[in-house]
Amino acid sequence: MSYEAILVETQGKVGLIRLNRPKALNALNDQLMTELGDALKAFDADEAIGCIVLTGSEKAFAAGADIGAMANYSYMDAFKGDYITRNWEEIRRIRKPVIAAVAGFALGGGCELAMMCDFIIAADNAKFGQPEIKLGVIPGAGGTQRLPRAISKSKAMDMCLTARMMDAVEAERAGLVSRVVPLDQLMAEALTAATVIANMSLPAIMMIKESVNLAYESTLTEGVHFERRLFHSTFATEDQKEGMQAFLEKRPAVFKNL
Ligand code: HXC
């Protein structure tokens, strides 16, 4: 499939998606979000792919939803057009891990999109923020919900109410990102992490993603119970036999994703 607002390639078992509206700092318009959803679903269905990396440019992961495109929206345009739900939520249905490799600005919907990924690796020039309040609106793709879960209520309130940006060092300290690396090493770091993951057992990868995500939706008792049932089910996989046998034979495991 050919895309205009994103670039798509594969590197070994990793699917790489690059947001590609450089003149608008990757502002997220309807076309881009539709293409992104399609590309994510295609990688999710591709047996040869085990992990996905989502990135932008060195200057911007994404500077937010496209302000020009929505400036004249009426309430009915937003509501009846199902703005956001219609094509912003596809990423939440992807079962393989999606790593956000963030350089430069990740603002508004860009920060929200990064937070919808499974984890964020940041370049040292990354800047995160929810500046919607300056536009007279509020975050609309999960900013007020995922940010407090990621970095605490106090910091989330600070970010959403003052619109200040958080640099990469603060973002790592706050737990928003898992690693910070120099800008020129961002893609190597993200692709290496994605390759490590992609060489694991895909059923285990998918179960871990599902189980960690349930931690946000369930009580601890329910979540631990769910995890235990999935853990038990791994003994029905060939990859569990291979993984443990390989350990005992002191050799690398070769998983068949079965
Ligand atoms: C449309 C955008 C844009 C955006 C930047 N551009 N952000 N266009 N939507 N969100 C465009 C600019 O208009 C400009 O186009 C070009 O990108 C370069 O931007 P500059 O402002 O000239 O660059 P700079 O001075 O380096 O400032 C960078 C910036 C600033 C700090 C990131 O662009 C900025 O504040 N952008 C808006 C950030 C924001 O408010 N995001 C939240 C959006 S609302 P021209 O044609 O002039 O060169 C949102 C709601 C989400 O995300 C709700 C869920 C959908």
pLDDT on residue 84: 84
- Low-confidence stretches of the chain (pLDDT < 50) are none
For ligand 1, is residue 43 a contact (CB within 6 Å)?
no
Tens-digit pLDDT profile for residues 145-183: 999 999 999 999 999 999 999 999 999 999 999 999 999
Q: Which atom of ligand 1 is nearest to the CA of 65?
A: 52
ipTM: 0.98
pLDDT on residue 85: 82
Instruction: Clarify whether 62 is annotated catalytic.
Output: no
Instruction: Clarify whether 112 is annotated catalytic.
Output: yes
For ligand 1, is residue 136 a contact (CB within 6 Å)?
no
What is the pTM (predicted TM-score) of this model?
A: 0.97
For ligand 1, is residue 131 a contact (CB within 6 Å)?
yes
For ligand 1, is residue 27 a contact (CB within 6 Å)?
yes
Kindly list the distances between the CA atom of residue 154 and the CA atoms of 53, 106, 161, in Å, as whole numbers in the listed order: 30, 20, 11
Task: Compute, in angstroms, the gap from residue 236 CA to the centroid of ligand 1.
Answer: 50
Closest to 214 in 3D by CA, of 202, 227, 204, 205: 227
pLDDT on residue 86: 87
pLDDT on residue 206: 97
Query: Roughly what angle, to the nearest 10 degrees, separates helices 143-151 and 153-162?
Result: 140
Q: How far is the C-alpha of 31 from the C-alpha of 220, rounded, in Å?
A: 39
- The closest residue, in CA terms, to atom 32 on ligand 1 is 63
Q: How far is the C-alpha of 253 from the C-alpha of 245, rounded, in Å?
A: 8
Q: How far is the C-alpha of 240 from the C-alpha of 236, rounded, in Å?
A: 8
Domains of the chain, start order: 6-198 (3.90.226.10), 201-249 (1.10.12.10)
> Helices marked H in the chain — which ranges?
30-45, 67-70, 75-80, 85-88, 109-116, 143-151, 153-162, 168-174, 186-198, 202-214, 220-233, 238-248
